[in-house]
Amino acid sequence: MASADKGAASLKLTLEAIVDAAIAVADRDGIGALSMRRIADDLGVGAMSLYRHVDDKDALLQEMSEEIGRRFPYPVADPGPWGWRDRVRVVVDIDWELYRRHPWVVLAYSSPRHSFGDESLRCLDWFAAGFLDLGVDLVEATGMALTVWSHVHGVALVAVSDDLLRAEKPSEGPDGLADLIAGQPKALAPHLSSLGANPVSARLVDPRARLEDGIAYLCAGFAARGEG
């Protein structure tokens, strides 16, 4: 693009356009491909023009994380009724879909700088409030909400790892646990070896099943804490 054309495009540039372009790059090529120059090239502007709207790449990641949160909102404005279990279900489904559609967010949300923006705090406020029904105080309620978030985030990391590492050649064979469950153990694990004879064991290597099982364990613990 000619310098004059880039200059004209720069005058029309907005933060929203920059964030949208950055999300498109991260979705397509991973967070490692994200750079101010790459985004500027995609927008047809000079790289320095981006800095009039965003300070640096880290600030851009914060804006991207906030925008993704707005695209996958919790029903904060819906009066409900929302019991704590209802809220857990909503959160799990929304966050899982978010991570599956935008794998790079798993890495971005690993940093508190990117995971606790205004939109995230609004969602956390709504989520934590549900646990107050258990009779716990706000500190415990918030801890319960964060524990659910951490579980979904952790399982999502496993689920999208191939996407996150797609620049590298993926392993062509199953992992050790999958081998063991398939009845082909490669390590000495006398107790785990019997998993191969149990068809239910397949849930252990199915990310969505592990997500649901973990949430069931957590909810049982939350309920017991409320009864106590």
Q: Which residues contact 215 (CB under 8 A, 6 or more apart)?
A: 88, 92, 148, 151, 152
Are 215 and 92 in contact by the 8 Å Cβ rule? The answer is: yes
Q: What is the mean pLDDT of residues 199-206?
A: 87
In terms of residue numbers, what domain contains 9? 3-54
Structure tokens given for 55: 């300070």
Phi/psi region, residue 135 (left: phi>0; alpha: psi -120 to 50; beta: rest), is left
Query: In CATH, what number is assigned to the domain containing residue 22?
Result: 1.10.10.60
Among 119, 127, 107, 92, smallest CA distance to 32 is for: 107
- The answer to whether residues 157 and 205 belong to one domain is yes
pLDDT of residue 39: 96
- The answer to whether residues 131 and 22 belong to one domain is no
- The answer to whether residues 85 and 162 belong to one domain is yes
- The answer to whether residues 90 and 194 belong to one domain is yes
Task: Give the chain's domain count.
Answer: 2
- The answer to whether residues 34 and 111 belong to one domain is no
CB atoms within 10 A of CB 117: 16
Residue 48 lies in a domain: yes
Phi, psi of 201 (to 5 degrees): -60, -20
Among 43, 41, 105, 110, smallest CA distance to 68 is for: 105
- The answer to whether residues 103 and 137 belong to one domain is yes
Residue 68 lies in a domain: no
**Whole-prediction pTM value?**
0.86
- The answer to whether residues 78 and 50 belong to one domain is no
Residue 63 lies in a domain: no
Residue 151 lies in a domain: yes
Q: How do residues 117-172 score in pLDDT, each as one tens digit?
A: 899 999 999 999 999 999 999 999 999 999 999 999 999 999 988 666 654 555 55
pLDDT of residue 174: 56
Are 46 and 119 in contact by the 8 Å Cβ rule? The answer is: no
- The answer to whether residues 120 and 199 belong to one domain is yes
- The answer to whether residues 82 and 152 belong to one domain is yes
pLDDT of residue 169: 53
Query: In CATH, what number is assigned to the domain containing residue 220?
Result: 1.10.357
Distance, in Å, from the CA atom of 181 to the CA atom of 38, rounded to the nearest integer, reads 44
- The answer to whether residues 35 and 147 belong to one domain is no
- The answer to whether residues 88 and 198 belong to one domain is yes
